[in-house]
Amino acid sequence: STMNIVILAAGQGKRMQSSIPKVLHPLAGKPMLGHVLDAVSLLSDAENIQPCVVIGHGGEAVQQYLLKHYPKTRVALQNEQKGTGHAVIQGLNQEVSEGITLVLYGDVPLIQRQTLKQLLDIASDGVLALLTQHVNNPTGYGRIVRNLNGEVVQIVEEKDADAQVKKITEINTGILACPTQELNHWLAQIEPNNTQGEYYLTDIVSLAANVHTPIRTTTPTFDWETQGVNSRAQLALLERVYQGHLAQDLLDSGVTIVDPARIDIRGSLECEPDVFIDIGCIFEGSVRLNTGVRIGPYCQIKNSTIDAGTQVHAFTHIDGAKIARDAVIGPYARIRPGAQIADQVHIGNFVEVKNADVGKGSKANHLSYIGDATVGEGVNIGAGTITCNYDGANKHRTVIEDGAFIGSDTQLVAPVRVGKNATIGAGTTLTKDAPAQKLTISRTKQASIDWQRPIKNKLMNDQ
């Protein structure tokens, strides 16, 4: 492909009051710059495009992030921030002097693919395409100046604007696309003779108008797409706007969200119809909830799938798990990576499950740790049962076969196996395999002794 995509990210972001570069601050769990690169990667011939991020302040951290997550991306260093025009010059690939250039901002994270496509379609006709917006309060933005025929002739920055221009409510979002050959030509002509002493990218507009290059504008589908982030307050506001948008999509697809203002999706949440989500839940990574799943309040669910009809009660944490149908999990359960929970399993309050298969219909309803274990079907695990899976150096597996009954407060010292339909007496410390069908118990014999309880020393306590 013959295309340049230049993402400006050299600014310092002073108002973030942070040692982390602004564009690496996360929105919906992902750095702002990642959102922009993801939108770009959805463009039709994205495989052939090598976007370029212009870095400056905090450049090393940005570069490291890109290497790890977007290795195809180029970086260009802008040592001194001499303005947006100067930044674009740094970012243009000299080997790609034809086709179209798209200019984006690393701190305008929510630009959508559809809007970029609109701009590119316009620019493909040899046109300078500007993304503009009509706003109630245009203060701070560059203004779109049109002639009597309604044609764009200039962009004037706030700081260079007179009272008349300041009244214009159509603003420059900063995002634009145009033919690269012309852009190179215009950029060579811009000069820093303005209030800020900067090379303004926006000066290409009057240069284009002078040579009668057509200039056309388009607007984003959603107002929030072009919202820039300069402070943590703006980031927090944009986060809520975006979460609201994600919630709206889920509502439209047949999900009940008790309060769309109290949900956080940091990744992708895929839901079938008739999923129910109570307030205060956080979804991270990639989560799938099948039809009829109910998630109680204040749950945190990450990289997991939950099959139809399963109920997750309040304050449950689920991470890296597969939960089958019609199970009941929580309240206050913790399901950790490698947990595979079968149909109709019950995992109750203060039960932790890690790297364990729990078979169909099995129950662990209270205060247990099930780690590195294979639990068969129809097993009942009493309160306070613990798999002692770690010997201080290595992890070992516990196997509990179908129909076993584990009495309360049992310690299963792994590696150990409980046979089919075996019963383990309460309080047992199981260090050897328990045979099928039998009752296995390890317990000191109960005894009753005559005994006088100590009495409080009155003198001492009066002091």
Catalytically annotated residues = 366
Taking the complex as a whole, how short is the minimal distance between the CB of residue 54 and ligand UD1, in angstroms? 5
Taking the complex as a whole, how short is the minimal distance between the CB of residue 372 and ligand UD1, in angstroms? 48
Q: How far apart are CA 417 and CA 397, in angstroms?
A: 9
Query: Between residues 87 and 275, which has the closer beta carbon with respect to ligand UD1?
Result: 87
180-187 and 84-91 are packed helices; what angle lies between their axes, rounded to 10 degrees?
130
Residue nearest to ligand UD1 (CB): 142
Would you list the DSSP string of 343-359? TT-EEEEEEEEEEEEE-
Would you list the DSSP string of 30-60? EEHHHHHHHHHHTSTTGGG---EEEEBTBHH
Q: Alpha-carbon Rg of the chain, whole angstroms? A: 31
Q: How far apart are CA 168 and CA 142, in angstroms?
A: 10
Taking the complex as a whole, how short is the minimal distance between the CB of residue 174 and ligand UD1, in angstroms? 4
Rounded to the nearest 10°, the torsion over CA 333, 339, 341, 345 is -30
Q: 434 with 419: CB under 8 angstroms?
A: yes
Taking the complex as a whole, how short is the minimal distance between the CB of residue 414 and ligand UD1, in angstroms? 55
Query: Between residues 1 and 81, which has the closer beta carbon with respect to ligand UD1?
Result: 81
Within 8 A by CB and 6+ apart from 68, the residues are none
Q: How far apart are CA 324 and CA 353, in angstroms?
A: 15
Taking the complex as a whole, how short is the minimal distance between the CB of residue 121 and ligand UD1, in angstroms? 22
Taking the complex as a whole, how short is the minimal distance between the CB of residue 238 and ligand UD1, in angstroms? 13
The pairing of strands 26-27 and 30-31 is antiparallel
Query: Between residues 87 and 265, which has the closer beta carbon with respect to ligand UD1?
Result: 87
Could you tell me which of 135, 52, 44, 30 has the C-alpha nearest to residue 101? 52
Token pair, residue 58, equals 């905090």
CB-facing half-sphere around the CA of 70: CA atoms within 13 A: 25
Taking the complex as a whole, how short is the minimal distance between the CB of residue 175 and ligand UD1, in angstroms? 8
> Rounded to whole angstroms, what are the CA distances from 113 to 31, 39, 133, 223, 366?
17, 5, 17, 14, 48
Task: Render the burial of 44-79: b for 16+ CB within 10 Å, e for the rest.
Answer: eebeebebbbbbbbbbeebeebbeeebeebebbebe
Task: Please report, as ranges, the residues that interact with ligand UD1 according to CB under 6 A.
Answer: 8-11, 54, 78, 81-84, 86-87, 105-107, 141-142, 155, 157, 171-174, 200-202, 228
At residue 14, what is the residue type?
K
Runs of H (alpha helix) within 42-155: 59-69, 84-91, 113-123
Taking the complex as a whole, how short is the minimal distance between the CB of residue 7 and ligand UD1, in angstroms? 9
Query: Between residues 35 and 334, which has the closer beta carbon with respect to ligand UD1?
Result: 35
On the question of a cis peptide bond just before residue 273, with omega within 30 degrees of 0, the verdict is: no
Taking the complex as a whole, how short is the minimal distance between the CB of residue 131 and ligand UD1, in angstroms? 10
Task: Render the burial of 273-298: b for 16+ CB within 10 Å, e for the rest.
Answer: eebbbbebbbbbeebbbbebbbbbbb
Q: 302 with 285: CB under 8 angstroms?
A: yes
